[in-house]
Amino acid sequence: MTAISAEDFAARLERCARAVENALQDALSDQPCANEIARPERLLNAMRHAGLAGGKRLRPFLLIESAALFGVTQQAAMPAALALECVHCYSLAHDDLPAMDNADTRRGRPALHKAFDEATAILAGDALLTLAFDLITRDETHPDPAVRIALTRALARMAGIGGMAGGQMLDLEGEGRFGDVTKPDVARLQQMKTGALLRFACISGAMLGQADKAAQDALDIYGRALGEAFQIADDLLDVEGDAAMLGKQTGQDAAMGKATFITLLGIDGARNRLRELLDQANAALTPFGARADVLRATAQFIAARKN
Amino acid sequence: MTAISAEDFAARLERCARAVENALQDALSDQPCANEIARPERLLNAMRHAGLAGGKRLRPFLLIESAALFGVTQQAAMPAALALECVHCYSLAHDDLPAMDNADTRRGRPALHKAFDEATAILAGDALLTLAFDLITRDETHPDPAVRIALTRALARMAGIGGMAGGQMLDLEGEGRFGDVTKPDVARLQQMKTGALLRFACISGAMLGQADKAAQDALDIYGRALGEAFQIADDLLDVEGDAAMLGKQTGQDAAMGKATFITLLGIDGARNRLRELLDQANAALTPFGARADVLRATAQFIAARKN
């Protein structure tokens, strides 16, 4: 068991989310940067709608806490954390588009394409993705250019065809075909669509801290387990969750004919797998002792989350 | 006048386009790379449709020839050139979407969203943009990580809100409002939408060659002049061009109520400005003597292009 209470963890997560929100606000301010021709106001407003919508900011938190394990301050980890969050926010903006998941709302507010229009939502997503690479390549991300380039490369790989974008494609292809989709298919799809960015959060923390190979591998194992646990918890919420608390409709996966961990494992099977993954995540953290208590509490939080 | 004949230039441009096509084919092959979870076939096919559509490959050519000025081989400049071309191809895929320019064809073939569907076109664009950052951060781009990170950062800035994506937003906002749009507005919009990537092509060549500050500045001036010249030539083609040779409809700008250099300067005024820009581009190349003859011929080609 973790030494951090659920209340202490929630407070820590919320403090971090506020710091991320403030830093993102600065990154999306209308102060033009050097070498920039101009910042079109409408596009910037759309990026703010997509980027400053609150939320748990779980990915930046994971990155910051993984980096903290290696002595990196929150401030030092923030630029990489913001880059990661920009990639996440772009993916939500594009996923909500009519041609994709056709979602009208997001976190209780109009989805980006509803608040603006489709063209602006596509462009704002593009611009957020591009901003991620602008942010992560800045000097503030890490003094050593070799570390910055490794981080940038990892982010591109995790977000691209072999990661998040590819996973979203597999997800769209799988709609209405849940009878044909096997457990390894779903595991691979989710490892790409959701898992890749969560995994990046953990390994990039270790990269920022210039951790040795063994420590980086441990964070990679932790991140992979966390990614799958996150998705199983998500699938369980879609079946058992409280729509009001979630801020979105439940039962969506079944309605769209999507294969999920629940359709493949059943509810009990999914809960068992979740416990297994939690054990894996904790086992990976053993070498770090009590210093990894926050990451243990994070795994616990992800497995038990209610929204 | 340039010492390279139009025929020799055309042959050189075509040889380079073939080399770029082959290298892009490799980059978009289905060989999974290390650390990659999987490459979804449909997404990869869509990326190939968008990326392997032929064309002059003018941006990679400019990057490769700018780099050659500083002793960089075509092979050494190729990874950065491919990254740039991926950004260009993603922008075409997204610009053609129904919510944007709603174009059904591109280079005489179905536009990406027609050949596949909208969701796939959005995702393939996203994945091409992300692949650009994957490619440009690779070791093969340049042995020095500091050079790689500077290139990556410049690409992100030129493609982002202060560059191409921002310019596309301004362009969409300007449709139907050409009476309200001034010459500085159009110049700024085009400097962002089209100019930024052409400018990147030229300055990144100098960066790859680790040119001194004066030489980098000269290539920047050349690239800016080239960018504006490219757009004026484009606007002239939309008014005077041969639709069959262009492979797209002419008169589109007027039909969409877009302010262009022609609506603002008139045809003669636009031609005069084009000559001015050609002089600027050539003047910037003076310090390089005969070594810059290919870049001189490129400027000439861009100003006089027929498609």
Determine the residue of chain B that is closest to A135 in CA distance.
B153
Question: Is residue A105, in this structure, part of any structural domain at all?
Answer: yes
Q: Is B256 left (phi over 0), alpha (psi -120 to 50) or beta?
A: alpha
In eight-state DSSP terms, residue A195 is I
Q: Which of A37-46, B13-22, B257-266 has the highest mean pLDDT?
A: B13-22
Question: Does the structure show a pLDDT above 90 at B242?
Answer: no
Tell me if A1 is assigned to some domain: no
CATH of the domain at B297: 1.10.600.10
- Any idea which residue has 């000439």 for tokens? B300
The minimal CB distance from B40 to the residues A133, A157, A166 is found for A166
Angle of helix B118-136 versus helix A118-136 axis, rounded to 10: 20
In-domain check, residue A30: yes
Q: Is residue A111 part of a domain?
A: yes
Tell whether the model's pLDDT for residue B184 goes beyond 90: no
Answer yes or no: do B169 and A118 touch at CB < 8 A. Answer: no
pLDDT category, A277, cuts 50, 70, 90? very high
Whether B162 sits inside 8 A of A138 (CB atoms) is no
CB nearest A149 (choices: B32, B148, B155): B148
Minimum mean pLDDT among B78-82, B246-250, B265-269: which range? B246-250
Q: Which letter does DSSP use for residue B32 in this model? A: P
- Orientation angle between helical segments A293-304 and A213-240, nearest 10 degrees: 20
pLDDT band for position B239 (50/70/90)?
Answer: confident
Number of folded domains in chain B?
A: 1
What average pLDDT does the segment A19-33 reach? 90
Q: Give the contacts of A37 (CB within 8 A, at least 6 positions apart).
A: B162, B163, B166, B167, B188, B191, B192, B196
Q: For residue A178, what are its two tokens?
A: 């849940």
Residue B170 C-alpha from the chain's centroid: 18
Beta pairing, strands A109-110 & B105-106: unpaired
Given an 8 Å threshold on Cβ–Cβ distance, is B156 in contact with A134?
A: yes
Residue B250 CA from chain centroid, whole number: 20
Model confidence at A185, in pLDDT bands (50, 70, 90)?
Answer: confident
Q: Which of A196-205, A252-261, B165-174, B251-260 has the highest mean pLDDT?
A: A196-205
Inter-axis angle of helices B213-240 and B293-304, nearest 10: 20
Nearest chain B residue to A187 by CA distance is B37
Ranges of H-type helices in A28-111: 41-51, 58-68, 74-95
Q: Which one of B161, B171, B175, B192 makes the best mutation probe of the A interface by having the most chain A beta carbons within 10 Å? A: B161
pLDDT in tens, A93-150: 999 999 999 999 999 999 999 999 999 999 999 999 999 999 999 999 999 999 999 9
Domain assignment present for residue B1? The answer is: no
Tokens 């050494």, located at residue = B76
User: Distance between CA B251 and CA B239 in Å, rounded?
Assistant: 6
Judged against a pLDDT cut of 70, whether residue B244 lies above it is answered with: no
* Position A241 in a domain: yes
Q: Is residue A117 part of a domain?
A: yes
Name the minimum distance, in Å, from the CA of A190 to any CA of chain B.
11
| Sign of the alpha-carbon dihedral angle for A208, A209, A215, A221 | negative
Q: State the sign of the Cα–Cα–Cα–Cα dihedral A82, A83, A85, A90.
A: positive
> Is residue A209 situated within a structural domain?
yes
Element (H, E) at A141: none
pLDDT tens per residue, range B146-163: 999 999 999 999 999 999
The predicted model gives B255-277 an average pLDDT of: 89
Which residues from chain A sit within 8 angstroms of residue B172, using beta carbons?
119-120, 123
Q: How far is CA B107 from the centre of its chain?
A: 15
Which of B117, B122, B188 faces A37 most closely, judged by CB atoms?
B188
Across the interface, whether the CB atoms of A131 and B157 are under 8 A apart is answered no
pLDDT band at B256 (very low <50, low <70, confident <90, very high): confident
Mean pLDDT of A162-184: 84
pLDDT of residue B257: 74
Residue A221 clears pLDDT 70, i.e. is over it: yes
Listed range (A111-120, B70-79, B185-194, B288-297) with the worst mean pLDDT: B185-194
Domain range holding A253? 6-304
Gap from A73 CA to chain B (nearest CA, Å): 23
- A82 within 8 A of A60, measured Cβ to Cβ: yes
Tens-digit pLDDT profile for residues B59-69? 999 999 999 99
pLDDT above 70 (res B248): no
What DSSP letter does each residue of A241-307 carry, written as one string?
A: --HHHHTS-SSHHHHTT---HHHHHHHHHHHHHHHHHHHHHHHHHGGGGGGGHHHHHHHHHHHH---
Cβ-based contacts under 8 A for chains A and B: 186
Cα dist from B232 to A166, B187, B296, whole Å:
38, 10, 18
Residue in the structure block whose two tokens are 């040795």: A212
Query: How far is Cα B13 from Cα B19, in angstroms, rounded to an integer?
Result: 10
Chain A contacts of B152, Cβ < 8 Å? 133, 137, 149, 152
**Which ipTM score applies to this complex?**
0.95
d(CA B252, CA A49): 32
Give pLDDT, residue B151. 98
